[in-house]
Amino acid sequence: MSEEKRRVLDLAEQYVCPGRVRTFRGLGVDLVIGRREGYRIWDLDGQELLDLHLNGGVFNLGHRNPELVATLRDALETLDVGNHHFPSAARAELGETLARLTPGDLHYSVFASGGGEAIDLALKTARHATKRRKIVSIAKGYHGHTGLALAAGDERFSRMFLSQGAPGEFVQVPWNDPDAMAAALSGDDVAAVLIETIPATLGFPMPAPGYLARVKALCERRGALYVADEVQTGLGRTGTLWAIEQQDVEPDILVTGKGLSGGLYPIAATLLSRRVAGWLDEDGWGHVSTFGGAEVGCRVAQRVLEITTRPAVVANAKETSQHLSDGLEAIRRRHPEWFVEVRRAGLVMGLRFADPQGAMRMTRALYESGLWAMFAAHDPSVLQFKPGLLADAALRDEILARFEAGLERCKASLA
196 binds ligand PLP (CB under 6 A): yes
Site string for ligand PLP, 305-344 (x = CB under 6 A): ----------------------------------------
Number of shown-chain residues binding ligand PLP (CB under 6 A): 15
207 binds ligand PLP (CB under 6 A): no
Tell the smallest beta-carbon distance from residue 67 to ligand PLP (Å): 23
Tell the smallest beta-carbon distance from residue 413 to ligand PLP (Å): 29
Interface residue with ligand PLP, options 129, 151, 152, 231 (CB under 6 A): 231
257 binds ligand PLP (CB under 6 A): yes
61 binds ligand PLP (CB under 6 A): no
59 binds ligand PLP (CB under 6 A): no
Tell the smallest beta-carbon distance from residue 399 to ligand PLP (Å): 22
Kindly indicate which of the ranges 23-31, 98-106, 108-116, 396-404 contains the residues binding ligand PLP, using the contact rule CB under 6 A: 108-116
Which CB sits closer to ligand PLP, 198 or 351? 198
293 binds ligand PLP (CB under 6 A): no
- 311-334 and 393-414 helices, crossing angle to 10°: 30
Interface residue with ligand PLP, options 49, 75, 119, 374 (CB under 6 A): 119
Interface residue with ligand PLP, options 144, 346, 350, 387 (CB under 6 A): 144
Tell the smallest beta-carbon distance from residue 149 to ligand PLP (Å): 7
Kindly indicate which of the ranges 88-96, 211-219, 225-233, 375-383 contains the residues binding ligand PLP, using the contact rule CB under 6 A: 225-233
Q: Which residue is nearest to ligand PLP (CB)?
A: 115
Which CB sits closer to ligand PLP, 236 or 257? 257
Which CB sits closer to ligand PLP, 136 or 365? 136
Residues lying near ligand PLP in the complex (CB under 6 A) are found at: 56, 114-116, 119, 142-144, 196, 200, 229, 231-232, 257, 268
